[in-house]
Structure 1
Amino acid sequence: MLDKLQAIKERFEEVAQLIVQPDAMSDMSKYTKLSKEYKDLEKIVVKYDEYKLIMENQANTKQMLAAEKDPEFREMAKLELDELADSRERLESEIKQLLIPKDPNDSKDCILEIRGGTGGDEAAIFAGDLFRMYQRFCEKQGWKLTVLDLTFGSSGGYKEIISTVSGADVYGQLKYESGVHRVQRVPATETQGRVHTSAASVAVLPEMDEVEVTLNMNEIRKDTYCSSGPGGQSVNTTYSAVRLTHEPTGIVVTCQDEKSQIKNFEKALKVLRSRIYEIELEKHNAEVGAQRRSMVGSGDRSDKIRTYNYSQSRVTDHRIGMTVYNLPDVMEGDIGGFIEALRIAENAAKLKDGGVED
């Protein structure tokens, strides 16, 4: 671990020199990347310097203890060694957490897609409940959620709703929500009081920019049509809604959020880039192999990740076996406990799999 920390410190000093060079100062993209790397490395270097100081103090105290004959002084030295050992252990734990490889997408904004699945009308209603849950959570985090496109369910809720979420470390938190969410309750459409099981899928994709995912515009078919949004505003008056079809993959993206066709086109391109990135990421993960992937953070949308049982007011996350009995609070956006527990579980799995050596 010390060799790795020393290499990090050397890179930190190198970045400190690069960031003040004229070519970096004149290139905003390069300057931004170097600034982010500097801040990330600085956290580790500060802990490393503190760690080295503790090791030096331990060595000096041991030398004094070996040479000292006075019983009282020896007792003081032993107490100091115990304190230093505790501090060293604490720092080692903190440093190992900092050395865990981070997902470079964690700081990005994201695309949030929710679709009703098994269960017909009730699945669409539940998709609407999930969307409201995420709305509340985003409000509490101070994030901005913008709806790009939606299809209403015949009895309420949504067959599909696609949004963007922007703010600090959005993808790093919401990525754990990808998968199948299952609900067990008596639907509003049920006349005999029977409990039904329905499901909705959630996909959280990091928002990618043009540099990271290059699209060949010759492979994209663009169609425009009249907006069909609620309220009658801008409906059937201008061809502002946009539908993009990526012909190599068959991916179709629509956006009718804005009155401007140009703005809808730009937003639809963002979603398209994110979906293509997801496909490429899945290919990469398949090549890497299952043994090197954390089940907690895989984000496989086919996995059943959570069950919401209304009769027992119970919510269970199946990936980590975590159960809470405060379903109303959860549906009001109180999902931070699940996200934090999943983050801790993923980091523990990375440590166990050898992400950081001693």
Structure 2
Amino acid sequence: MQETDALETRLRESVERREALAHRMAEPEVLADVGLLRELAREHSALEPLVRASERYFKLLDDLRQAREVAAETDGELAELAAAEAVELQVEREAAEVELRRLLVPGDPLDDRPAVVEIRAGTGGDEAALFAADLYRMYTRFAAESGWETELIHTSEGALGGVKEVVFIVRGTEAYGRLRYESGVHRVQRVPETESQGRIHTSAATVAVLPEAEEVDVRIDPADLKIDVFRSSGPGGQSVNTTDSAVRITHRPTGLVVSCQDEKSQHKNKAKALRVLRSRLLDREVAAQEAERARERRMQVGTGDRSMKIRTYNFPQNRITDHRIHFTIHRLDAVLGGDLGEVVEALRLAGVEERLAAGAE
């Protein structure tokens, strides 16, 4: 009840703010200042979806109150109809409240950025590399279903069709915003193809999702870079290029190392590697800020902690569990096939709830 009261208070404040902005925009001194008028108009426009949703929410509350009163004060068929209507209105109210909580949280300016996704095989040998390849397919299929584009930056293949490491960029509406909570350690429990005794093994892979940085976000001093070139190699170390087109960039101040060998052009590989390096440097800043907020508010989702075990994929039980929000579904095959929307949405909603609670502090 306390949370609902706080929500309604914030909604009324938003409605009042929009009305105040409308009056302010009509003032002669504001009309004479094009820059100020544009700024106020932008805020007024941004509040419009929230105000419309608020009006619908308060109407639902009023209709629900009336239906409950009729159900309590009458008898017979009319009471039954009112009670049934109250149940339906309660479901609508809960859905409207979820949507309002999302609208109340200011959007992160990074959410619309492309996402740089890095997947690395962890403990488990060849089975971990196979799992990393499964995660790569899962994300690329999810991207395709979401109407996003993917660009491969770097891959290091392992045995049996697995990957030791793969780096790619996902571009599309809210790509980073929807994928950001995938960062962390993903654990798989299954019987490996190479296991003759039928025993279940546990392996892991790490995922890091970074917002793609622009040059204005991160300034890199060329003197801080150590650039090495070498020949691209395929599985087993075999050369796939007769020229030194692969590039390895080391950022001396931080020790970050980025390699790229998927293009035949050294210039293109260098450009791609620099893009990833900028994104990693920006991500260090974002992760530090999120970790600080986590310490202050005990946040579970947006901690920026890349070493935290976040999810388990249990094949014998056809189960996926996200440990941060205690979310479990029994559709493992579908999720690994790219049907990741339910998981992503649950995490994003949890992130919204955290940010809403933090804003209320």
Structure 1 pair 313/253, CA: closer, same or farther in 2 (3 Å)? same
1:183 is aligned to 2:183: no
Q: Does residue 1:163 correspond to 2:168, yes or no? A: yes
Q: CA RMSD in A?
A: 3.9
Instruction: Give the match for residue 310 of structure 2.
Output: 305
Larger CA deviation: 86-95 vs 332-341: 86-95
Match of 1:340 in 2: 345
Question: Shift in Å at residue 282 of structure 1?
Answer: 3.0
Written as runs of structure 1 = structure 2, the 5 A alignment for 1:77-156 is 94-156=99-161
Gaps of 5+ in 1: 23-30, 59-82
Paired residue type of 2:302: G
What is the aligned partner in structure 2 of residue 26 from structure 1?
none
Verify: 1:331 aligned to 2:336, yes or no: yes
Query: Are 1:43 and 2:49 an aligned pair?
Result: yes
- Indicate the residue corresponding to 2:179 in structure 1: 174
What are the Cα deviations for residues 304-335 of structure 1, in whole angstroms up to 9, with x where unaligned?
A: 11111111211111122222222111110111
**Compared with structure 1, are the counterparts of its residues 201 and 289 closer, same or farther at alpha carbon in structure 2 (3 Å cutoff)?**
closer
Are the structure 2 counterparts of residues 6 and 241 from structure 1 closer, same or farther at C-alpha, using a change threshold of 3 Å?
farther
Query: What residue ranges of structure 2 are gaps of 5+ in the alignment?
Result: 1-9, 63-85
**Normalised by the size of structure 2, how large is the TM-score?**
0.75
1:233 Cα shift?
12
Taking structure 1 as the reference length, the TM-score comes to: 0.76
Offset of 1:138 from its aligned partner?
Answer: 0.9
Query: Does the aligned pair in 1 maintain the 2:297–2:358 contact within 8 Å?
Result: no
Once the two structures are superposed, what CA deviation does each residue of 1:65-109 show, in whole Å capped at 9, x if it has no partner?
xxxxxxxxxxxxxxxxxx9x9999997775543121322211110
Distance change >3 Å, CA 257–CA 6, structure 1 → 2: farther
Letter in 2 for 1:112: V
SS at match of 2:280: helix
Contact 2:124 2:203 in 1 (8 A): yes
Shift, 1:7, TM fit: 4.6
CA 1:235–1:90: 2 relative to 1, 3 Å: closer
- Alignment of 1:292 onto 2:297: yes
Q: What's the CA shift for 1:21? A: 5.9
In structure 2, give the amino acid aligned to 1:297.
G
Q: CA deviation at 1:303?
A: 1.3
| CA 247–3 in structure 1, closer or farther in 2 if over 3 Å, else same | same
Code of the aligned partner of 1:215:
I
Deviations 1:261-313 (CA, angstroms, capped at 9, x unpaired):
22222211111011111222233334445133531232422111111111121
- 2:293–2:299 contact (8 Å) kept in structure 1: no
Q: Is the 8 A contact 1:241 1:255 kept in 2?
A: yes
For 2:101 and 2:24, the matched residues in 1 are separated by 23
Partner Cα separation in structure 1 for residue 187 and residue 51 of structure 2: 44
Letter in 2 for 1:209: E
1:13 and 1:211 map into 2 onto residues whose CA distance is 37
Q: Distance in 1 between matches of 2:23 and 2:240?
A: 58
**CA shift in 2, pair 1:192/1:267, >3 Å:** same
**Which among 248, 261, 270 is matched to residue 243 of structure 1?**
248
Q: Is the 8 A contact 2:118 2:209 kept in 1?
A: yes
- 1:155 is paired with a residue whose SS is helix
Counting aligned pairs with the same residue, the percent is: 50
CA drift at 1:239 = 2.4
SS in 2 for 1:279: helix
Alignment-mate amino acid for residue 110 of structure 1: A
